[in-house]
A and B are shown apart, each in its own frame.
Chain A
Amino acid sequence: MLGFLIGEAFRDLRRAGRVAVSAIVLITLSLAALGGFWLVSSNLERAVAKWRERVRIIVYLKREPPAGEAAALVERVQGVPGVAGVLYISKADALASLKTVLGKDASVVAQLPSNPLPASLEITPAAVAATPEGARVLVERLASLPEAEEVAGSADWVERLSQWQRLLTTIGLGIGAVLAIAAFLTVATATTLILHARRRETEIMRLVGATEMTIRLPLLLQGMLQGLLGAVLALTALVATHGLVAPRLAPLVSLTLGLPEIAFLPPLNLAVLLLAGTLLGGLGGCLARAGREA
């Protein structure tokens, strides 16, 4: 029975001809746009997450604490909400790391009359402080420490990246939605055409005892088929484009975003795209049906 209904659905699809083809193309475009933006956005999201992990806040101290008190200070700062880890860097430590950074030019440092670098605390923010708001609050708290001279380092540019990612997602959803509406209407038009083409046939089918289900289910199925076909085409296009473009962009991406490669969409997202296409098509098939009954 199911085989029969699917066969009827394919027959209907053929009958809709060019309109069905344009419906499928539109579904392909809308899902490819959606998927494309999704792909870029999910990679940006990965980059944001990665960079958030690396964010450090430096608290420069007014004075280097006496030898015994550094540990107590670290412990106290450790207790500040939003702080995950604290590393104490003495004036000497700071100078030593400057020397390593300078490498062969380290002799410049040796000529300094005294160590100009302040002692500092390197703070690793906890996950709660990784949001822009959380980071701002944490920076304020640290600045209010009596020992703090200045608090440096913030998640600013990571947040900007995160905003870009959200903007991109919104644009993607917007374009995808507009195309999806167009696709949905085209499926509905294709289905209406099918209804019209097979009006006489439907009449005869009813006369020989076909149930409403036998008559209508193929319409729903052909709509879903249009959607599924469009989704599969969109995914194929995405896979192909990704396969072609990702390796070429990899060096650039690794340089700017620090991502080893441009990852493809995870299986869950692919399933969502397939499902979205199928639902879109099925809905188009339903709408045409409702239109006829109205």
Chain B
Amino acid sequence: MIELHRVWKVYSVGPVKVPALSDVSFRIAKGEFVVLTGASGAGKTTLLRLLYRDDLPSEGDIEVLGYDLVPLRRSRVAALRRSIGVVFQDAKLLPVRTVYENVAFVLRVLGTPRREITQRVFDALRVVGLSARAQAYPAQLSQGEAQRASLARAIVRKPPLLLADEPTGNLDDAMEAEIIDVLKDIGGGGTTVVLATHQARLAASLRRRTITLEGGRVVKDEG
């Protein structure tokens, strides 16, 4: 499902080279639920971005869902991304569209029939508890609501792989528990889930395989 082999990611900020990931290798099997944790700046977002081919590694190989990401042609990137649901740390909602339209968008680009779209979008919004805010625009949402909209968009296609970057970052405890339940449900349904969080408490409470990053290195991989 996911395989990283000696992956490095070095950002150049002017003359300074910032190694965001250093020699990272691991495998995640189909259906696994993996927690990716580490302090702020440890490289979690960087790692996830490599998985949906938003960026290329400076060195090393990555395979996701059978796609070899380094030589992957531009035209196939869209196909890869269509099989991955991503909850972005900063939500990344289309600003001039309502929550409903944002979630519907990923189905429209697939050519899903309109009637089916309505049904599935409302199902997804119900799951994340946002049905009432369907007609709101992103600017009118709280950060927690925006993240839940991003989650609804990530799950509406029922992808085989779900990458969630701090999906509970801005939520209260009750809402956090709810969202974690949603993710666990999705994981239970056979979807491979990678959940990134800097909250050590949350990572521990999940009692799943946990990969810990520290300064861009995998320092622990257990559970």
Contacts and interface: CB of A to CB of B under 8 A. Distances in A.
Interface of A: 1, 4, 11, 200-201, 204-212, 214
Contacts of B106: 208-209
Contacts of A201: 94-96
Contacts of A208: 81, 86, 105-106, 109, 153
Tell me what chain A mostly uses at the interface: helix, strand, loop, or mixed.
helix
Contacts of B153: 208
A212 B78 CA distance: 8
A205 B81 contact: no
| Interface band, chain B | 20 to 34
A83 to B, nearest CB: 69
B111 to A, nearest CB: 4
Given A201-B95, A207-B86, A212 B105 contact: no
Given A1-B108, A11-B96, A212-B74, 7 more contacts: A201-B94, A205-B94, A205-B109, A208-B106, A209-B83, A209-B106, A211-B78
A209 B54 CA distance: 11
B7 to A, nearest CB: 20
Contacts of A206: 77-78, 81
Interface in B119-168: 153
Contact of A207 (B52, B83, B111): B52
B153 to A, nearest CB: 7
A108 B27 CA distance: 121
Of residues B54, B78, B92, B94, which shows the largest number of chain A Cβ atoms within 10 Å of its Cβ? B78
A254 to B, nearest CB: 58
B105 A207 contact: no
B12 interface: no
Closest 5 A/B residue pairs (Cβ): A209-B81, A209-B82, A1-B111, A210-B109, A211-B78
B75 interface: yes
A205 B86 contact: no
Nearest to B106: A208
B95 A200 contact: yes
Given A209-B82, A211-B78, A212-B78, A204 B109 contact: no
Contacts of B54: 207
Interface in B70-99: 74-75, 77-84, 86, 88, 92-96
A60 B82 CA distance: 89
Nearest to B53: A207
20 contacts: A4-B108, A11-B96, A200-B95, A201-B94, A204-B93, A204-B94, A205-B105, A205-B109, A207-B86, A207-B88, A208-B86, A208-B106, A209-B78, A209-B81, A209-B82, A209-B83, A209-B84, A209-B106, A210-B105, A214-B109
B81 A207 contact: yes
Contacts of B79: 209
A209 B95 contact: no
Contacts of A212: 74-75, 78
Nearest to B110: A209
A209 B108 CA distance: 11
A200 to B, nearest CB: 7
A204 B92 contact: yes
B152 to A, nearest CB: 12
Nearest to A202: B94
